[in-house]
Structure formats: structure tokens, C-alpha cells
């Protein structure tokens, strides 16, 4: 830092503020929390010598101009900590002020001298002067209180009484509320935190094609058919219903079943080929119904506790109105024709990607904001964004901030299966949730390493992983090969490793017919209508319902970063747990990762962390089977048969005889 020796008479502050946390990329991006959280902020704060300092955490909602303050406390080794309540669904800014604590220094010194029997007459005059100096900044109540102490001090019968008066804690509190900020140092950056609504952290997503909600295999289902499915979906315990695009589908180069290049006259096309003569991103595919039908669906879903999430897919079919009205928004070949989308060797002849680097980018950005705001007006407050990694991160940062200015309740989910740093940058830019590599993490070591990174590294401050066990694009090999047991234990992993997870429809009936050699569904709903038999033999709908009920009943499973892994001797068995801060809810999960063979092993639990002594008995309620056990000690045995109980979820609590004692007559 350069110092201007001609800047004025007051010397620069000698207080240093360093290593502020949480702070992402030098304050470039906000951290994330939820409404009702306390944001705890810490920093190294120090100065030369031994004089005392004080520090306050300054914060305000981003729409306010006036700052509030929370006192910071000394922790150790020049580390300070403070916190403030995120009371509203909005963004907050925060920073730190530190300044000399003149009265604190004086109190410390005079107390030591007085205790040593030294005469402190001069020091008492100094203390009285410090106290009087704050009067000009006091409100009426503090002024009266301080003047009363000064009068008592003046009338003190001895030096002992005078010292006791000026060292009184009530006087200290009044002085601290009004103390001088001369010599203050302010942290060089103003930081930001997004206080999302709770559903950003705790939710169970159900993904479906609305056109497959009906009973006719050659005709699109309607929004009314989807309304009929709402009780089934909510009944399984889901609280977010995600629809693939509901917009008009293009006709030009329309794909047929299983991605064939030629579509028949009755083939519906891919919903991601958005736009036709009917309209674009603010219109409804006619086969589904009308805009009013959609509004009615949203209301019906909300009435039973379901949020409706829409797919925001920024691409266009060759028939989209944009192609005619804004050809500059697309990529052009040398001959002037528009390029279709490719992900070699895949080709998407029915889809045109958007060129964000065009000369009219401002109009494009504003149009995309208009579209999002349009659907918000229809009651949609959650968006799953398709392939955000193929658009500029700076655009998402701008769009999400613009939306949050007026609608902070909106949640954006990033569907980006791409390079780690790109995925992280999107989360930093404002996406409340992010798809993850969980879909491909199958073995104990890779699950442990990946989840440890997500929940204990800096990523936990900005990246909330939404664990989808499958998607309409991805049928993982573990589900193809592992059968019903794999569907069960992957659901348990997704629902308990993360506090927010998702399943694509068909998961509950264990649909796993693949395109040979690929992680894709044969006869995918992306290319054709589909009718589901939700009562198909072998379905696990009841298992999923039970799993979601367990999540709702246990607060420990509703948190994201409280995950810890425990020892288990068999590499086919993964053991982990979650616990609330007050230990009122302790969950231990054991999962057999082998869908073919039973495995048994010993689990080593950190019972001291749970508040359980080595010789104490404690109760373990296995929530999936309903069995109850009495355990003693850290090491416990578990046997998991993939065809009977591929996973176990234990709720632990201390046990006393009185809990089981029968009444005596």
C-alpha cells in the first residue's frame, strides 16, 4: 500500500485485516447460504504492540444503503470471528472494520496496576476522559447511564471504589456502543452472500417429459394428464417437478425414434429443437395444451407442495422465429447458411446453437432475460438450465443477478457435465445448484474422495451438488448391469450423501434398457411418446417414498456440508453419517456397493463426536427395515444383502432403561 504523506494530519491506520473467510476468488463471487442461517465471518486482525483493538462485521441487504454491525470476538492467534443472521431471501454484502480499542486498553492496564497495589490516580483521570469523550455520540439512554457512572466515580470514597466504577461491565457495554473509530481500518473488499430459500439446499427433484404423462402411445399427453400424475409424484415425497422443454418443436430436420435422421409424420421430435411457426421460448407446444392450462398445472402442483421447474434450453430449431427475426444470433457458414449443433461425433441437425459473440449480443441477453421473466410471471421460480457451459459464464452471472434483483426466490440449476473448473465457475456465477459427477462415481474410494472435496473444501461455500442418479440423457452402466438392487442403493446414496438430489422418471420402475454399448436409453422419450406402467412388477416406488420420508423426518439429512465418512473394513461397503450441530439428530448410513453379492463388515463410528461414551449403550433404529438395536462401543457389525437390504440407515440416540421399561401394576 502506498501512503500519501500530504493526505492530512491523521496517520494511516496501522491495523491489518487479512485472510477474511468466507471469500471466493478475492471477493469476485458470492458465497451461498439459506434463509435463517448465521453467516460466520473470520479474519486475521492485528496491529503492532500490545494495545487492544476491536472489530465489527458490517453487513446490509444489497438493496439497502445503511449498514448494520455485529461485534467480532477474539478467537486466538489474532484470529477474530463474527456472525450475522440471514433473515431474508436476498443478497447481503459484508465487510470488516477494525479500530483501536482505547477504553479496552485502558481497562486492561489499570486492572493490572490496581491488582499489583500501585497508585492509579493519574490512570483514573485518563479513564474518566475516555468515557466522557463518547458522550457526544450517545443516544439518550446511554448518555444518562454514562453520566450516572461518571457522577458515581466523582463521588467515590476511595480509589478502590473509583476503579470498580470505571471497570463495570454495564459501563463498558455503553462505551463500546459509542466508541471512537479514530484510527480505523476497513477491509479493502466488500463481499457478498446469497441467502437462497431453503429449497436450494434441501429438495427431491422428479424429472419427466410432460408429453409422456398419458396413456396413448401415439399421442402427446396434455397438461391435464400431467396434473393427474401430481398426486403420485408428491406421494413419493418429491417437492420439485422438473419438465423438459414445453415449447413448440420444430419440423425441419426433425429426428425420429432413437435419433434416426428421418421422422415419420406422427413422430413428435425432440423437445430441445425449440421453435416453430407457433412460436418460440415463450410459447407452448400445442399438443400439451395452452398457456392457461400450464398456469393451472402450476397452481395444482403448488397446492400439494410441488414446485414446477422448467428447462431453460438456449438453442433453436431451424423454424424458430429468431432464425428469421435475428439471423445475426446464429453461427454462419462461409456460404451464409446457419450451422447446426454438433458434439462430435454426434450431430444435431434439428438444433441451431446460439452465437453469444455476435455484434448484437445486448439484444440477445435482454431477450433471454425477458423469457425467464415471462415464465416467472406464470409462477415458475425454478429453472434447470441445459448445457450452461456452452454459453459465457459472464452471461449467467449477469442474468442471475438481474433476476434476483426483483425475484430472489428463483433457483437456477446448472446442468453442466464438463470440466471441473468450468462447473465451479458456473456455481460461483450464481447457480444455486449444480449437476455433479456423482452419476459416474460407483466405488468407495472415488465416492469418498469426491464427496470430501464437495463438502469440506472451499467448494462447499458456493457449490451445492444436486445428485441425479439418472437423467433422460444418461443411463449409467451401474443401473444397466446391477438391476433392482443398483436402483435401490444408488437412490440411497443420492438422497443421503447430498441434501438435494433427483431422479428421472422410469427410475422408480427400474427402467434400464440401453442402447447397446452406450449410457443411453433405448426408445428414449427424447424422440417419441411413451406410456409408463407405474405398477410394473419389481418397481421401487414404495422404497423411494420411504427414503424421501426419512429425509423429511431427519434434519441431519437436510444439510449439505455435514457429511463425514466412517471406517468400514470391506471396500464394497461405504459408511458415512450426518449429524445436526446440537446432536439431536444423528444418522449413520451403510451401503453395499456390490449389486450382486452380500457383504458384511465392521463399521467404526466416531461415538465421541456423537456425544456417546465408550461404555455407553445407545439405540440404533434402522429406518428402512424398522428394526431396533442396542449398541455399545464404536465398532458395530452390518450385513447387507443386495436382494434384501442393499442399504441401512440408522438413527442413533442415547438409551436408558426407562425407554423400554414396562409399567408395573
Q: Look at residue 343 and tell me whether its pLDDT is greater than 90.
A: no
At 332 the pLDDT is 94
Give the whole-angstrom CA distance, residue 109 versus residue 610. Answer: 43
Q: What's the CA gap between 512 and 495, in Å, rounded?
A: 20
CB atoms within 10 A of CB 337: 10
Query: Tens of pLDDT along 607-627?
Result: 999 999 999 999 999 999 999
The residue with greater pLDDT, 413 or 659, is: 413
Q: Has 109 been annotated as catalytic? A: no
Which is the catalytic residue, given 34, 386, 559, 570?
386
pLDDT-based confidence at 2, cuts 50/70/90?
Answer: low
C-beta separation of 426 from 397 below 8 A: no
What lies within 8 Å, CB to CB, of 478 at 6+ separation is: 442, 486, 490, 595
Q: How far apart are CA 381 and CA 281, in angstroms?
A: 16
Which pLDDT value is given to residue 664? 38
Q: Is residue 663 scored above 90 in pLDDT? A: no
Bond prior to 131 in cis (omega within 30° of 0): no
Q: List pLDDT tens digits, range 376-403.
A: 999 999 999 999 999 999 999 999 999 9
Ordered alpha helix ranges (H), 215-318? 223-235, 291-303
The CA-CA-CA angle for residues 280, 416, 344, to 5°, reads 80
How far is 437 from 493, CA to CA, in rounded Å? 13
Q: For residue 510, what is the DSSP state?
A: T
Other C-beta atoms within 10 Å of 390: how many?
16
DSSP three-state, residue 509: helix
Yes or no: say if 53 and 73 are a contact pair by the CB < 8 Å rule.
Answer: no
* β-strands 38-46, 79-85 pairing: antiparallel
Q: Which pLDDT belongs to residue 662?
A: 46
Active-site hit among 415, 508, 519, 585: 415
- Whether 432 has a pLDDT exceeding 90, the answer reads yes
Provide the β-strand partners of residue 382.
Answer: 309, 411
Q: Which pLDDT belongs to residue 7?
A: 61
Is residue 260 helix, strand or coil? coil
For residue 570, give every residue at least 6 positions away whose Cβ sits within 8 Å of its Cβ, in sequence order, or none.
599, 600, 601
How is 350-392 classified by DSSP, letter by letter?
T-EEB-TTSTTHHHHHHHHHHHHHHHHHTT--EEEEESGGGS-
- Look at the alpha carbons of 532, 536, 542, 543 in this order and tell me if their dihedral is positive or negative: negative
* Angle CA 535–541–543, to nearest 5: 140
Strand pairing category for 79-85 and 91-100: unpaired
Residue 8 has pLDDT above 90, yes or no: no
Q: Please list, in sequence order, all residues whose beta carbon lies within 8 angstroms of the beta carbon of residue 658, skipping any fewer than 6 positions away.
A: none
Mean pLDDT calculated for residue range 643-661: 81
Residue 9, pLDDT score = 72
First to last CA, the chain: 82
CA distance 215 to 375: 28
CA angle 494, 462, 426 (to 5 degrees): 90
The verdict on whether omega for the bond into residue 446 sits within 30 degrees of 0, i.e. cis, is no
What mean pLDDT is reported for the chain?
A: 95
pLDDT value of position 166? 93
The whole-number pLDDT of residue 1 equals 59
Position 12 scores a pLDDT of 85
Would you say the pTM of this structure is higher than 0.85? yes
- Per-residue model confidence (pLDDT) at position 656: 59
Backbone angles phi, psi at 591, to 5 degrees: -130, 130
Dump pLDDT digits (tens) for 505-560: 999 999 999 999 999 999 999 999 999 999 999 999 999 999 999 999 999 999 99
Residue among 507, 475, 471 nearest 489 (CA): 507
Q: What percent of the chain has pLDDT over 90?
A: 94
The question of whether 386 is a catalytic residue gets the answer: yes
Confidence of residue 29 (pLDDT cuts 50, 70, 90): very high
Given a cut of 50, whether residue 42 has pLDDT beyond it is yes
- List, as own/partner pairs, every contact residues 230-234 make where C-beta atoms lie below 8 angstroms and the sequence separation is at least 24, other chains included: 230/297, 230/300, 230/301, 230/304, 230/306, 231/304, 232/534, 233/206, 233/208, 233/306, 234/301, 234/304, 234/305, 234/306
Report the residue count for the chain.
665
Q: Is 581 helix (H, G, I), strand (E, B) or coil?
A: coil
**CA–CA separation, 339 vs 359, rounded Å?**
17
Query: Which phi and psi (to 5°) does residue 204 adopt?
Result: -120, 115
- Sign for the CA dihedral angle at 71, 73, 78, 83 comes to negative
* Rounded average pLDDT over 313-341: 96
CA distances from 221 to 238, 282, 474 (A): 21, 20, 23
The reported pLDDT for the residue numbered 578 is 98
Amino acid at each position: 500500500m502506498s501512503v500519501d504523506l500530504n493526505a492530512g494530519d491523521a496517520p494511516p491506520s496501522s491495523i491489518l485485516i487479512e485472510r477474511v473467510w468466507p471469500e471466493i476468488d478475492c471477493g469476485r463471487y458470492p458465497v451461498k447460504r439459506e434463509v435463517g442461517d448465521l453467516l460466520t465471518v473470520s479474519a486475521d486482525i492485528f496491529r503492532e504492540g500490545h494495545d487492544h483493538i476491536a472489530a465489527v462485521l458490517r453487513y446490509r441487504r444489497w438493496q439497502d444503503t445503511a449498514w448494520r454491525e455485529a461485534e467480532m470476538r477474539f478467537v486466538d492467534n489474532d484470529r477474530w470471528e463474527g456472525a450475522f443472521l440471514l433473515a431474508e431471501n436476498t443478497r447481503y454484502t459484508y465487510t470488516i472494520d477494525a479500530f483501536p480499542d482505547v477504553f479496552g486498553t485502558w481497562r486492561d492496564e489499570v486492572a493490572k496496576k490496581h491488582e499489583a497495589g500501585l497508585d492509579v490516580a493519574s490512570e483514573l483521570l485518563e479513564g474518566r476522559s475516555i468515557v466522557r469523550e463518547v458522550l457526544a455520540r450517545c443516544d439518550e439512554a446511554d448518555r444518562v447511564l454514562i453520566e450516572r457512572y461518571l457522577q458515581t466515580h466523582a463521588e467515590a470514597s476511595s480509589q478502590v471504589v473509583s476503579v470498580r466504577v470505571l471497570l463495570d461491565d454495564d459501563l463498558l457495554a455503553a462505551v463500546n456502543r459509542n466508541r471512537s473509530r479514530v484510527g480505523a481500518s476497513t477491509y479493502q473488499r466488500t463481499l457478498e452472500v446469497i441467502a437462497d430459500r431453503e429449497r436450494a439446499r434441501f429438495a427431491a427433484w422428479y424429472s419427466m417429459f410432460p408429453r409422456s404423462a398419458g396413456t396413448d402411445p401415439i399421442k402427446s399427453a396434455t397438461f391435464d394428464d400431467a396434473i393427474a400424475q401430481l398426486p403420485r409424484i408428491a406421494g413419493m415425497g418429491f417437492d420439485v417437478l422438473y419438465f423438459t422443454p414445453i415449447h413448440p418443436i420444430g419440423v425441419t430436420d426433425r429426428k425420429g425414434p432413437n435419433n434416426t435422421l428421418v421422422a415419420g409424420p406422427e413422430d413428435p421430435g425432440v423437445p430441445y429443437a425449440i421453435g416453430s411457426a407457433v412460436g418460440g421460448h415463450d410459447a407452448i407446444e400445442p399438443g400439451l395444451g395452452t398457456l392457461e392450462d400450464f398456469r393451472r398445472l402450476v397452481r395444482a402442483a403448488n397446492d400439494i407442495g410441488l414446485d414446477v421447474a422448467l428447462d431453460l434450453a438456449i438453442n433453436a430449431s431451424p423454424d424458430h422465429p429468431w432464425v428469421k427475426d435475428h439471423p445475426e444470433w446464429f453461427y454462419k457458414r462461409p456460404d451464409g447458411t446457419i450451422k447446426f449443433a454438433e458434439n462430435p461425433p454426434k450431430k444435431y441437425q434439428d438444433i441451431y446453437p446460439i452465437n453469444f459473440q455476435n455484434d448484437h449480443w445486448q439484444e440477445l441477453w435482454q431477450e433471454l432475460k425477458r423469457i425467464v421473466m415471462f415464465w416467472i410471471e406464470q409462477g415458475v421460480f425454478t429453472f434447470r438450465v441445459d448445457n450452461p457451459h456452452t454459453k459465457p459464464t459472464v452471461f449467467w452471472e449477469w442474468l442471475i443477478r438481474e433476476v434476483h434483483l426483483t425475484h430472489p426466490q428463483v433457483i437456477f440449476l446448472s446442468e453442466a457435465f464438463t470440466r471441473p473448473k468450468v462447473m465451479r465457475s458456473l456455481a460461483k456465477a450464481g447457480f444455486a445448484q449444480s449437476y455433479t459427477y456423482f452419476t459416474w462415481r460407483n466405488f468407495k474410494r472415488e465416492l469418498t474422495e469426491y464427496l470430501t472435496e464437495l463438502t469440506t473444501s472451499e467448494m462447499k461455500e458456493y457449490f451445492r451438488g444436486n445428485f441425479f442418479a439418472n437423467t433422460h440423457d444418461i443411463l449409467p452402466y451401474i443401473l444397466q448391469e446391477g438391476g433392482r438392487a443398483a436402483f435401490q442403493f444408488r437412490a440411497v446414496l443420492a438422497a443421503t450423501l447430498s441434501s438435494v438430489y433427483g431422479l428421472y422418471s422410469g427410475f422408480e420402475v427400474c427402467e434400464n434398457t440401453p442402447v447397446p454399448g452406450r449410457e443411453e436409453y433405448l426408445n428414449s422419450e427424447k424422440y417419441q411418446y411413451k406410456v409408463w406402467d407405474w405398477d410394473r412388477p419389481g418397481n421401487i416406488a414404495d422404497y423411494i417414498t420411504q427414503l424421501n420420508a426419512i429425509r423429511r423426518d431427519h434434519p441431519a439429512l437436510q444439510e449439505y456440508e455435514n457429511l463425514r465418512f466412517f471406517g468400514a473394513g470391506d471396500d464394497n461397503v461405504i459408511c458415512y453419517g450426518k449429524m445436526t450441530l446440537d446432536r439431536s439428530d444423528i444418522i449413520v448410513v451403510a451401503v453395499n456397493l456390490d449389486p450382486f453379492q452380500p457383504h458384511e463388515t465392521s463399521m467404526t463410528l466416531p461415538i465421541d463426536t456423537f456425544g456417546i461414551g465408550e461404555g455407553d449403550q445407545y439405540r440404533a433404529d434402522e429406518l428402512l427395515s424398522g428394526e431396533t438395536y442396542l449398541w455399545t462401543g464404536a465398532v458395530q457389525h452390518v450385513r447387507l444383502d443386495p436382494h434384501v437390504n442393499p442399504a441401512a440407515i440408522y438413527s442413533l440416540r442415547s438409551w436408558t432403561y426407562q425407554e423400554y421399561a414396562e409399567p408395573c401394576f
